[in-house]
Amino acid sequence: MVTRCYLCGGKTELKTVTAENWWGEKLILVENVPAWVCQDCGEQYFDAGVCQQLDQLRQSPPATRRTVRVPVYSFPAKSPAASGNSEE
């Protein structure tokens, strides 16, 4: 159980989330996964048992429940953050 976020120090609460996993070249979404979610920044943490179940799903995937299309974008080559010239 994770009670504090390792990134920002915020409190976490147990929620169900959609976990995104790359299985080779495929992006897989697993819905209704229990996770500890930071109330401040949204970072997600999974208990060891949940990670083991996700690994088992990868080894023996169940029937696909549904399929979604996901757009893919390229990050712009010249952006202030990429060049280190951000204006604040």
Question: What DSSP assignment string belongs to 65-87?
Answer: ---------PPPSS-HHHHT---
Residue 88 pLDDT class (50, 70, 90 cuts): very low
CB atoms within 10 A of CB 44: 17
pLDDT digits (tens, 9 = 90+) for 18-73: 999 998 888 999 999 999 999 999 999 999 999 999 999 999 999 999 999 989 99
Residue 56, helix vs strand vs coil: helix
Taken in order of first residue, the domains within the chain and their CATH numbers are 1-66 (3.10.20.860)
Tell me if 19 sits within 8 A of 53, measured CB to CB. Answer: no
Check pLDDT > 80 for residue 87: no
